[in-house]
Structure 1
Amino acid sequence: MKRFTAIALLTITLVVAAAPPAAAAAPTVTHTSTTVLTTNGRTALTYTGYMNGESFQQDGIVTFAGRQYAAFWDQSGYVNLSRRQLPSGAWQNLRLTDYMTSSTDSHNTISIGIAPADGTIHLAFDTHSSQFGYRRSVAGLATSSTWSTGGFGAVQTRLTGTSMDVVTYPQFFAHPDGTLQLAIRTGYSGTGDEVLYEYRAGAWSYVGEFIDGTTAGNNAYLFGIEYDNYDPANPLLHVTWTVRETSNASTNHDLYYAYSKDKGRTWRNNAGTVIATTGSSPLRSDAANLRVWNIGQNRGLINQESQVVDAGGVVHVLASHLPAAAASNSDFTAARNSAVLVHYWRDKASKVWHQTYTPFLERLSRGDIAVDARDNLYVASGDSTTRKLHIQTASKASGWTDWTIRYTSSAVYYSDPLIDHQRLRSLGTLSIFAPRYGGSQIDVQDWSVSG
């Protein structure tokens, strides 16, 4: 029997509206290039998105050691992995034809993980409450000039002896010491758990279950899980999530938060109290002492939007739901048509959470939030009705209240745009993976940033 501490924690604070654009000091963006990643992307449309470009891909596009990587399914059902030398090299594509999906399910995305310790590239794919799909490269491929399909091993269905027959949403993230980790859901929508794996010295090990949803009869949907770099000698692992009570998205509710000082072995609540141990007494998904913002059911809250942690250790969450004054609506699609993007952030010093409503709509799409080296924020978001892509920015100097639209595309994009977080943070370029409507063409937009 699992036991949990139940200490209520109230951290709700000031609600502010976005400043008008005329007064904004938000960063500006300047378009530098758009390259075409493919014109043969998988076109099946399910759950209002494509198999290429979904908010829960961590990562779908990523920079490592001066090269940028992007993954996509082609129309024939093969995994493709492309890379290019930055800043402006041509894309070099690998088509891995020894595995073919029959799925048209947009949850079955491809996530890329790169292990800094040995330069291996890891791909997790084709997984929605089903058997795990995974393969990894030889050591050093991410730093080698050699780029061929022979650099990848065979497809596997598990990482260790632990079963991975009913899993979803693989998310890779790296510790500053070079360790690669993977969080993944076991079970189903409305009744599932989050488990943690770790890759070191060329092998994976199972760390254990770290969020328990099945005991409460629900599941956690992660906004994100990642390390900060505030104190490189003692990085913290931050995770945020919402909870769903059933398979109906209208039952999504609340914002929850926990962090770890020891690579996810033990977990602390917002106040810093150790309340859980991975494997033996995991975090309970809906524990009152983990809730940091109250968001009711029937508010059009979409799961798995985005999270980022800035250089100051501030945790930022991008969510979207109905404005405070709007009436609740149990029709999720109808609620989403009025839902706005909302920025939540945790002040590191005071541990207080803040909320900023913006006026930006995205309907059935989801956005991605990222940070630059000066802790300014950038959001790439779509709009499933207008088929337009937007870039919004906010400055640290304003306390991230001056949210401003800096770009609106023509009506050609769909599904969820993805930001290359590492490239923006370390190289100052906003790079966006952007599927076009219809799914066959995927653009990668590059923008220089200033402000």
Structure 2
Amino acid sequence: MPPGSLLTEEPRLMLKRFNPLCRLAVVAALALVGLVAGPAPQAGAAAPGVTAQGTTLLTSRGHTALTYTGYMNGESFQQEGITSYRGWQYAVYWDSSSHVNISRRQLPSGGWQNLTLTDYTTTSTDSHNVISLGISRADGTIHLAFDMHASTLRYRRSVAGLANDPGRFSWTADAFGATQSQLTGSTVTTVTYPAFIDAPGGRLQLALRTGTSGSGDEVLYEYAGGSWSHLGRFLDGVSNNQNAYLFGIEYDGGGRLHMTWTWRETSNASTNHDLMYAYSTDLGRTWRNNSGAVIGTTGSRSITSASAGVKVWSIGQNRGLINQESQVVDGSGVVHVLASHLPAGAASQSDFTTARETAVLVHYHRDTSGGWHQTYTPFLERSSRGDIGVDSGNNLYVVSGDSKTHKLHIQTASRSSGWSDWTLRYTSAAIYFSDPLLDHAHLRDDNLLTIFTPQYGGSRIDIQDWKVTA
């Protein structure tokens, strides 16, 4: 059983966390979407339930530096920090000796096996410098990108077959090659936010930001046939002194690549604004806006803030909109975005930290006809960010922290309600911090909710396991 008690606190009780003026604004906003109108959800509510299966210790020696309101282990933009593949689960973290670690366990209940890559030592305490993990389905290589914040690429990969046939190989550092700063023959510089993308046909792709906060581009690489190729820039922010912060970039089951993001005008997070969307039907080579018109070609004609039809929801500056929360695409091709910002009726606030104190989680989704929808929830995070996942029945699960209370929450919503019945299913004891991460593949494929969640202080990282009951 995870620490703390299971709760079934309903959304309108959560509203007590707001001051009176903000509470009125939230209630008004929620009433517009029908979230708090009517009686409280009962035990038989449609929103899925969760049943604790246990908590395991990933490490008690995690990196403890706290910067930018988080740790180097557990940040929302890790794609991925924990994932499952062919009956094994993998998780990555920095240890207290500043080394990259990768652990694995055989599902459903094997013990964690850890290896430490001691030939590279970070000097960073910057929570942007996370470790991201990707797996090539074609050759079974495991890929790691790490320790970057507007700095030189740090990348390494395993021997072929390590993930496809785990029993053939010893789980030791010898299975991984040396740290590299190149993918295609030239050093990759000034990069941040590596995101591995599991692509059709056994391809593995890697999106990177080049540039800096307030002036950055997104570029795309592709791994196939045992080597990387550079596809080019696909999002241009530098030309207009902006930065596109991705909520997520991933393929649906039909091979369409979906991407959502927000623009930032300066290095100040208060200038985050708007929800943007584009998709690709040819492996990220060309890009289309929400209505299907071609608006960009990777490597030659980048998407910009002036590209027609990419803004799908207006969110102004000074709304406490945090960048890079989360995105997931369900089995029907519906795109779901987890964002958080001030409620509709609340006054704008130019101080980002102050705005985050009353910012609430908001669910946006794009239906299969291209229409976008917004549902406010009453859940708070302060400076934390949450993660959103989907099960095999297209029900939604959000794990979120609260940087003030140090509590972890699980919220769920059902497909049958149109994801309007958001219900709090669990609140932990006051022991967690930074951003919790979901194993999206495990939830989607096996209806099991696994949460990577650092405890406050950073040294201990728990892995919580839950069974979902839709």
TM-score bucket (shorter structure) = over 0.9
1: CA distance, partners of 2:114 / 2:124: 22
Q: Give, in angstroms, the shift of residue 285 of structure 1.
A: 3.8
Contact 2:325 / 2:339 at 8 angstroms: preserved in 1? yes
Task: Specify every segment of 5 or more residues in structure 2 that has no aligned partner in the other structure, as ranges.
Answer: 1-30
SS of the residue corresponding to residue 200 of structure 2 reads coil
Aligned to 1:339: 359
Task: Specify every segment of 5 or more residues in structure 1 that has no aligned partner in the other structure, as ranges.
Answer: 1-13
1:37-76 per-position Cα deviation (integer Å, ceiling 9, x unaligned): 0000000000000000000000000001100000000011
Identity of aligned residues (%): 67
Aligned to 2:35: 18
1:176-207 per-position Cα deviation (integer Å, ceiling 9, x unaligned): 31100000000000000000000001000000
Find the partner of 1:179 among 203, 206, 209.
203
1:144 aligned to 2:166?
yes
Aligned to 2:338: 318
Find the partner of 1:280 among 300, 305, 326.
300
1:79 aligned to 2:100?
yes
Query: CA RMSD, aligned part only?
Result: 1.1
For 1:414, give the aligned amino acid.
Answer: F
Aligned to 1:67: 88
Contact 1:380 / 1:419 at 8 angstroms: preserved in 2? yes
Aligned to 2:137: 116
* CA distance 1:376–1:346, change in 2 (3 Å): same
TM-score (norm 2): 0.91
2: CA distance, partners of 1:114 / 1:296: 37
Q: Give, in angstroms, the shift of residue 165 of structure 1.
A: 1.1
2: CA distance, partners of 1:144 / 1:291: 44
SS of the residue corresponding to residue 107 of structure 1 reads coil
Aligned to 1:223: 247
Contact 1:345 / 1:355 at 8 angstroms: preserved in 2? yes
Aligned to 2:277: 257
1:360 aligned to 2:384?
no
For 2:50, give the aligned amino acid.
Answer: V
Q: Give, in angstroms, the shift of residue 15 of structure 1.
A: 5.6
Find the partner of 1:377 among 384, 387, 396.
396
Q: Give, in angstroms, the shift of residue 286 of structure 1.
A: 5.2
Aligned to 2:347: 327
For 2:161, give the aligned amino acid.
Answer: G
1:266-285 per-position Cα deviation (integer Å, ceiling 9, x unaligned): 00000011111011101114
TM-score (norm 1): 0.95
For 2:389, give the aligned amino acid.
Answer: A
Number of residue pairs the alignment of both structures matches: 433
1:293 aligned to 2:310?
no
Structure 1 runs of 4+ aligned residues shifted over 4 Å read none
Contact 1:15 / 1:357 at 8 angstroms: preserved in 2? no
2: CA distance, partners of 1:127 / 1:275: 30
1:302 aligned to 2:326?
no
SS of the residue corresponding to residue 150 of structure 1 reads helix
For 2:234, give the aligned amino acid.
Answer: F
Aligned to 2:26: none
Contact 2:289 / 2:308 at 8 angstroms: preserved in 1? no
- Greater share of helix residues, 1 or 2? 2
1:161 aligned to 2:180?
no
SS of the residue corresponding to residue 438 of structure 1 reads coil
Find the partner of 1:405 among 424, 432, 443.
424
1:229-257 per-position Cα deviation (integer Å, ceiling 9, x unaligned): 0x3xxx10000000000000000000000
Q: Give, in angstroms, the shift of residue 21 of structure 1.
A: 4.6
Q: Give, in angstroms, the shift of residue 120 of structure 1.
A: 0.1
